[in-house]
């Protein structure tokens, strides 16, 4: 740590050196009292917008938790962090002088939310770790917008639910949270979640959530689990390649409101499909399987219809056409291409499923441009699509009848062939 270098540009180096000579480092008020939001302190260092104080309640971030925001003398503190070993507050446009007394106010709502999230992270990981002993914590992110961590190990929603129950039970029990400074060789170390190799120095800060969890951490935490109110896991997503899963969660009032919203949706969804909420997942799985079977059957029927199509002949050119209901565009395209593989036929298919589709295939011996035909047909209906001379496909507004799309294409083809 080179404090002299950091303060090289300071105007009041003399005063600073005097304080420095007394080996004053910033006193971390947030470590002693994480619920202290107002304080006064002495400015002991400056560099541009960056202010160093003799003591501070602003947490500079760490352990994945965002740094605090707030005010110094009614001026916004837009960042707090360590720089060259000094804990600095970024206060744009300040007019502070070295040796000045300033009043600091930490944004309370933001800090409480981050502390709840951070403590919640300790608890949730500890609970998951009980069920999956080889679970490994890769990265933590505790910000106002998002609270999550990345893990390596096998997780699923059943494990998550069991862990959530454990955590919320512990939240309700009002377990006290404290921290102890221990030596590397202290027997407590072996009972804690710790990566010794990552921690410098001999003294290690252990954060204890009663019997629930013991972990090495230098961050700020709530003093009692009831302060978290509730923890709700909201997302479990793949986090390859950095880890296996990202677990995203909510705490506090946001967790309560979100769980109410989610349960309301689950109840309404159950009503909609006529099942009990506890059967909802199975009912949806069955519905999905049914849908896949229906689509398969529809596709088979469509293929039979396509195979039996009798072409209408205009100027000696066989023209196949038909309107389908809910057949996917891929099947339509494949069959249409097959129909014109003799090089001298034309095939036009429309579908009136959830989307209105149009497929045009033209034999490669014919001098008609499929893409031009498609554009000309869809444009008046505000539809879109693309392709080339032999094949084009697109879609349009569902208010347009499939039959009328085919008619428009046919009129164009007729005028081209009968020229």
Cβ distance to Zn ion smaller for residue 65 or 345: 65
Identify which range of 79-87, 154-162, 210-218, 386-394 contacts Zn ion by CB under 5 A. Answer: 210-218
Cβ distance to Zn ion smaller for residue 191 or 301: 191
- Least Å distance, CB 107 to Zn ion, is 19
Cβ distance to Zn ion smaller for residue 72 or 215: 215
Identify which range of 131-139, 161-169, 218-226, 249-257 contacts Zn ion by CB under 5 A. Answer: 218-226
- Using the rule CB under 5 A, is 378 a contact of Zn ion? no
Identify which range of 68-76, 216-224, 303-311, 351-359 contacts Zn ion by CB under 5 A. Answer: 216-224
Cβ distance to Zn ion smaller for residue 135 or 214: 214
CA dihedral (175, 181, 185, 186) positive or negative: negative
Cβ distance to Zn ion smaller for residue 219 or 243: 219
- Least Å distance, CB 144 to Zn ion, is 17
Cβ distance to Zn ion smaller for residue 200 or 274: 200
- Least Å distance, CB 207 to Zn ion, is 5
* C-alpha span between 338 and 6 (Å, rounded): 75
- Least Å distance, CB 291 to Zn ion, is 46
- Dmax over Cα atoms in the chain, in whole Å? 103
* C-alpha span between 77 and 102 (Å, rounded): 13
Question: Coil, helix or strand for 273?
Answer: helix
Task: Give the residue at shortest CB distance from Zn ion.
Answer: 217
Number of residues in contact with Zn ion, rule: CB under 5 A?
A: 2
Residue 94 · residue 49 · CB < 8 Å: yes
- Using the rule CB under 5 A, is 117 a contact of Zn ion? no
The correct pick among 60, 219, 318, 395 for binding Zn ion (CB under 5 A) is: 219
In the DSSP assignment, the letter for residue 366 is S
* C-alpha span between 102 and 371 (Å, rounded): 72
* C-alpha span between 45 and 16 (Å, rounded): 7
The contacts of residue 236 (CB under 8 Å, 6+ apart) are 155, 156, 157, 160, 245, 246, 247, 248
Identify which range of 193-201, 219-227, 318-326, 393-401 contacts Zn ion by CB under 5 A. Answer: 219-227
Which pairs with CB-CB distance under 8 Å and at least 24 residues apart come from 233-242? 233/124, 233/160, 233/163, 233/164, 234/258, 235/148, 236/155, 236/156, 236/157, 236/160, 239/138, 239/150, 239/151, 242/138, 242/139, 242/150
- Using the rule CB under 5 A, is 217 a contact of Zn ion? yes
Cβ distance to Zn ion smaller for residue 1 or 180: 180
Q: Which residues bind Zn ion (CB under 5 A)?
A: 217, 219
């Amino acid at each position: 740590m080179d404090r002299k270098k950091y303060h090289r540009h300071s105007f009041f180096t003399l005063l600073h050196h005097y304080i420095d000579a007394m080996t004053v480092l910033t006193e971390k008020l947030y470590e002693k009292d994480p619920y202290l939001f107002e304080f006064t302190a002495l400015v002991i260092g400056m560099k541009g917008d960056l202010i160093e104080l003799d003591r501070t309640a602003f947490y500079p971030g760490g352990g994945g938790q965002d740094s605090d925001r707030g005010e110094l003398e009614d001026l916004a503190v837009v960042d707090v962090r360590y720089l060259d070993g000094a804990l600095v507050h970024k206060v744009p446009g300040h007019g502070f002088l070295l040796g000045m007394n300033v009043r600091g106010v930490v944004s309370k709502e933001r800090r409480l939310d981050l502390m709840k999230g951070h403590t919640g992270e300790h608890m949730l990981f500890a609970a998951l770790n009980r069920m999956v002993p080889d679970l490994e914590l890769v990265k933590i992110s505790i910000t106002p917008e998002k609270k999550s961590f990345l893990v390596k190990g096998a997780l699923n929603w059943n494990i998550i639910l069991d862990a959530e129950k454990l955590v919320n039970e512990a939240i309700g029990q009002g377990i006290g949270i404290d921290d102890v400074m221990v030596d590397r060789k202290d027997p407590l170390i072996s009972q804690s979640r710790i990566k010794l190799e990552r921690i410098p120095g001999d003294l290690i800060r252990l954060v204890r959530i009663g019997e629930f969890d013991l972990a090495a951490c230098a961050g700020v935490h709530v003093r009692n689990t009831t302060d978290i109110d509730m923890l709700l896991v909201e997302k479990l997503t793949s986090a390859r390649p950095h880890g296996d899963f990202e677990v995203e969660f909510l705490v506090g009032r946001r967790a309560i409101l979100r769980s109410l919203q989610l349960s309301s949706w689950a109840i309404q969804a159950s009503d909609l499909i006529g099942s009990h909420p506890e059967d909802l997942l199975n009912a949806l799985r069955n519905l999905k399987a049914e849908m896949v079977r229906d689509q398969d059957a529809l596709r088979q029927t469509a293929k039979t219809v396509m195979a039996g199509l009798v072409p209408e002949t205009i100027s000696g050119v066989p023209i196949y056409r038909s309107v389908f209901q809910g057949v996917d565009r891929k099947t339509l395209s494949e069959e249409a291409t097959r129909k014109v593989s003799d090089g001298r036929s034309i095939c036009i298919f429309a579908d009136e499923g959830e989307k209105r589709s149009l497929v045009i295939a033209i034999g490669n011996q014919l001098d008609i441009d499929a893409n031009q035909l498609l554009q000309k047909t869809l444009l008046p209906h505000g539809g879109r699509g693309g392709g080339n001379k032999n094949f084009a496909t697109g879609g349009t507004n569902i208010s347009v009848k499939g039959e009328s799309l085919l008619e428009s294409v046919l009129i164009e083809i007729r005028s081209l062939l009968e020229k």
